[in-house]
């Protein structure tokens, strides 16, 4: 399953010369954790996150502290270019969703821009990946069956069961193919099934049901 299958294409981005306050407003109103920063050609040049615009922008209330902070020597940056993280970590539109999920866990990221070449084409978040795990089993089953039948060109020859995202594919009837050929087809079918959004794992039972 590729990132293009789960990403959000209608992505909100800001430019380097956007005010940091406006970026904060967009994140607060839209519930975003971060925004891609793009140049005039649509290339990703950075990412601005909630923490970036919070940093040094909330002064202490002097009534609540015995030791008061001295006034900052310099005001915080007013533009996104002064607070964003650059270069941005991005993923290609063809990336494996499993690799992106691992990136979210290992790097503790909540979202990451998706690029085609250098141009921004979407954004993928933890929630986007999680949605693949909660697809109804019946929907997953239908997608797996259509994909298998399209690949093998054997309509009505396959039975698919899906339980909690675990797909089991069976042959409805045996074939005259050599064992090695049938094994190769079964391996290809299992691989294809794992590309369907929502499939946690897939297996093909070699023996036809009695």
Instruction: Give 180-206 pLDDT, tens digit per residue.
Output: 687 888 899 999 999 998 999 999 986
CATH for the 137-205 domain, from 3.30.70.2210, 1.10.760.10, 3.40.50.150, 3.30.465.10: 3.30.70.2210
Contacts of residue 196, defined as CB under 8 A and 6 or more positions apart, other chains included, come to 1, 140, 143, 144, 147, 167
- Best CA proximity match to 143, nearest among 115, 121, 165, 123: 165
Q: And the tokens for 95? A: 């990336």
Domain definitions of the chain by residue range:
3-133, 137-205
Q: Which fold has domain 3-133?
A: CBS-domain (3.10.580)
Query: CA-CA distance, 144 to 199, in Å (whole number)?
Result: 9
Secondary structure (DSSP) of 119-134: EEEEEEEHHHHHHHHT
Say what the pTM is: 0.72
Residue 20 structure tokens: 């940091």
Q: Could you read off the pLDDT of 101-142 as tens digits, one per residue?
A: 999 999 988 899 999 998 999 999 999 999 888 889 999 999
Residues 6, 60: Cα–Cα separation, whole Å:
42
Residues in a beta bridge with 168: 161, 203
């Amino acid at each position: 399953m590729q990132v293009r299958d789960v990403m959000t294409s209608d992505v909100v981005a800001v430019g380097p010369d956007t005010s940091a306050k406006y970026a904060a407003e967009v994140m607060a109103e839209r519930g975003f954790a971060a925004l891609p920063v793009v140049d005039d050609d649509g290339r990703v040049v950075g990412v601005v996150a909630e923490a970036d615009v919070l940093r040094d922008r909330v002064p202490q209330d002097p009534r609540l502290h015995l030791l008061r902070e001295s006034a900052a020597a310099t005001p915080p940056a007013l533009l996104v270019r002064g607070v964003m993280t650059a270069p941005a970590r991005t993923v290609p539109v063809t990336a494996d969703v499993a690799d992106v999920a691992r990136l979210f866990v290992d790097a503790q990221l909540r979202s990451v821009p998706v690029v085609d070449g250098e141009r921004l084409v979407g954004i993928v978040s933890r929630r986007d990946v999680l949605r693949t795990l909660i697809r109804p089993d019946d929907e997953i089953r239908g997608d797996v069956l259509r994909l298998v039948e399209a690949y093998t060109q054997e309509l009505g020859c396959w039975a698919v069961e899906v339980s909690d995202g675990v797909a089991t594919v069976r042959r409805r009837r045996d074939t005259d193919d050599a064992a090695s050929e049938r094994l190769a087809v079964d391996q290809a079918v299992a691989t294809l099934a794992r590309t369907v959004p929502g499939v946690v794992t897939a297996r093909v039972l070699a023996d036809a049901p009695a």
